Amino acid sequence: MPIEIERKYVLFSDDWRILSHEQVEIQQGYLCNDKYRTVRVRLWGNEGKVTIKGLSVNGARPEYEYDIPKSHAQEMLETLCLPGRVHKIRHLIQFGSLTWEIDEFLDHNKGLILAEIELPSLNTAFTPPTWLGPEVTNDHRFQNSHLSQHTVDTSNLF
């Protein structure tokens, strides 16, 4: 079973911007969105993807992802997905031997910036960059499935 191991943080500084080496626009919606499973449709630049994820426990969960035609992803976003979407710009940053994904949210969550790191195992050690804010890995409000339908206030985190 493929497992995603991810840690997520709110950012409090723009110092990461000079390290960004790649950006891609992402739009995503959900066919299924509950505590135990999500089924996501995503436009990743000019690519389409479908992703199925299971329950997250301490940042680890089953994840299956498949490429689909861009036109299929567009049709599903427009006709099949639940109300609400995530629209963001993803910035990629190489920091040490790991890649950080910085998501700069648009539309109803404009101003929210989250950093994610996918780890090869639960006990992988890493040096946190100085531009990280509080960890929100286990806070459901910062899961993209929640952000698709809600605006999050981060003022109480700092």
Q: Which domains does the chain have, with CATH numbers?
A: 3-157 (2.40.320.10)
Mind telling me the catalytic residues? 30
What is the rounded distance in angstroms from the CA atom of residue 135 to the CA atom of residue 9? 4
What is the rounded distance in angstroms from the CA atom of residue 100 to the CA atom of residue 115? 7
pLDDT at 100: 97
Q: What is the mean pLDDT of residues 3-28?
A: 95
pLDDT at 146: 95
Instruction: Give the residue with greater pLDDT, 31 vs 1.
Output: 31
Strand partners, 6: 118
pLDDT at 157: 66
Amino acid sitting at position 52: I
Tens of pLDDT along 62-87? 999 999 999 999 999 999 999 999 99
